[in-house]
Amino acid sequence: MRMFNLENLQIIPKKKFYFSISLIIILISIIAIVFNYITIKSPLNFGLDFTGGTILDLKFEKTPTVSESREILKEFGYGNSVIQVSQEGRLIVRINEKNLSAEEREKIFSKLEEKFGKLDRENIRISSIGPTISSELKKSGIIALIVGLSFIFIYITLRFQFRFAVVTILALLHDTIITIGLLALIRQQVNSPFIGALLAIIAYSVQDSVVVLDRVRENLKLYKDKIPYDDIINKSIVQSFTRSINTSLTTLLAIIAILIFGGSTIRDFSFTLLFGIMAGTYSSIFIAAPLLVVWNKLSEHKVEEIKKEVKMTQEISKVQVVTNSIKNEQYKNKKKKKGGKRKK
């Protein structure tokens, strides 16, 4: 079954490469979000659930055309609504920031019926959402995200280590930003299931990261002081590589099934999930554990630097008088060492 030898997989030595891929995608995501903010005054193409308004999803005897429907809606002052005709021949009208009254709606229906034949009332969807509900949705979504992340953070700190929790949260933010960025880039319309999808992505990708980090924890116990930190992390990633790929693949298979066969309403939801979980798999392998190595380097650096400084001040106090030239030389030495370490 094995296509290549996993044992030789070198992820840590190439971590800069993997980080830069993520950074580039995150950068594109942020640009897309900012671009949307400037052009459409909103980071994402928020749907009815978030903006409030009315959506009419109607089926007539004849297939309506967008232009004729727009003419009719213009008479009622809704000429600038979003009007679409779906593949199944349904007329979908989205009127923003306005709740249609029952009478107005009926008037529009009868006008449309004159043009396109009888409206199938058994097969319609009318949804109207007031501004209170939509702003509540945004708020509760953001709270749910923050609370979910905090739960995860606390749990990992308790069960593992503080730094494990930090890298996991960073990996999760990575997944969230990339997913939101993609939706911003293609201007996919997002409705309340989007919040569910984001939370599901976080819940799922944390599982992926935890599996890798659990291996790190175990290997740290086994090999600490025997093998360098970098190698322990690399070993852990390699050992859990097949798991990471297989667990994601089975879930992706399920999502692809919803995406293809699940109908249009749930399609947006599964589309978000698909990308989020792919980002999650990537981050659990190439971001979370490799970040531990970076953290380790930084903290080692600090320890060394503190040691050096203590030594220096001791020397200075001993000698009392130090000429400028010696001072400069020491400074240069320190700089050299620092630079050398970084290159390594």
Near other proteins by CB under 8 A: residue from 6, 203, 310, 326: 203
The radius of gyration of the chain from alpha carbons, rounded to an integer in Å, stands at 28
Instruction: By CB under 8 A, tell whether 263 contacts other proteins.
Output: yes
CB of 22 to other proteins, least distance (A): 21
Nearest CA among 10, 30, 27, 5 for reference residue 286:
10
Give φ, ψ of 5 to 5 degrees: -85, 115
Is residue 182 a contact partner of residue 274, using CB atoms and an 8 Å limit? no
Among 22, 240, 281, 283, binds other proteins (CB under 8 A): 240
Does position 340 bind other proteins by CB under 8 A? no
Non-local CB neighbours of 214 within 8 Å, separated by 6+ positions: 160
DSSP string, 76-145: TT-TTSEEEE-TTS-EEEEEET-PPPHHHHHHHHHHHHHHH--B-GGG-EEEEE-HHHHHHHHHHHHHHH
Closest distance of CB 301 from other proteins, Å: 30
6 binds other proteins (CB under 8 A): no
Q: Which amino acid is at 225?
A: D
Q: Which residues contact 101 (CB under 8 A, 6 or more apart)?
A: none
Contacting residue, 265, 299, 313, 333, with other proteins by CB under 8 A: 265
Within residues 67-126, the interface with other proteins by CB under 8 A covers: 99, 102-103, 105-106, 120-126
Instruction: Show the tokens assigned to 292.
Output: 């531990």
> 272-301: which residues touch other proteins (CB under 8 A)?
273
Q: In whole angstroms, how close is the CB of 239 to other proteins at the nearest point?
A: 8
Ranges within 151-170 binding other proteins (CB under 8 A): 151-152, 155-156, 159
| 132 is a site residue for other proteins (CB under 8 A) | yes
Strand bridging mode 91-96 / 53-58? antiparallel
Should residue 136 be labelled a site residue for other proteins when binding is judged by CB under 8 A? yes
Take residue 273 and report the two structure tokens written for it: 């999930």
Regarding 220 and contact with other proteins (CB under 8 A), the answer is: no
With H, G, I as helix, E, B as strand and everything else as coil, classify residue 287. Answer: helix
Least gap, CB of 172 to other proteins (angstroms) = 10
Q: Give the residue with the Cβ less far from other proteins, 28 or 144.
A: 144
CB-CB contact of 277 with 252 (8 Å): yes
**Backbone angle region of 127, left / alpha / beta, with phi > 0 → left and psi within -120 to 50 → alpha:** beta
User: Quick one: DSSP state of residue 4?
Assistant: S
Interface residue with other proteins among 42, 86, 135, 140 (CB under 8 A) is 140
| Helix (H) or strand (E) segment spanning residue 230 | helix 229-239
Of the ranges 127-135, 176-184, 289-297, 306-314, which one interacts with other proteins (CB under 8 A)?
127-135
Q: Which of 63, 148, 330, 334 binds other proteins (CB under 8 A)?
A: 148
Provide, rounded to whole angstroms, the least separation between the CB of residue 333 and other proteins: 46
**Which two tokens mark 9?**
């997989």
Position among 173, 196, 230, 312 found at the interface with other proteins (CB under 8 A): 196
12 vs 212, beta carbon nearer other proteins: 212
| Residue 1 in contact with other proteins, rule: CB under 8 A | yes
Q: Does 129 bind other proteins (CB under 8 A)?
A: yes
Q: Count interface residues toward other proteins (CB under 8 A).
A: 75
Q: Does 12 bind other proteins (CB under 8 A)?
A: no
Judged by CB under 8 A, does residue 234 bind other proteins?
A: no
39 binds other proteins (CB under 8 A): no
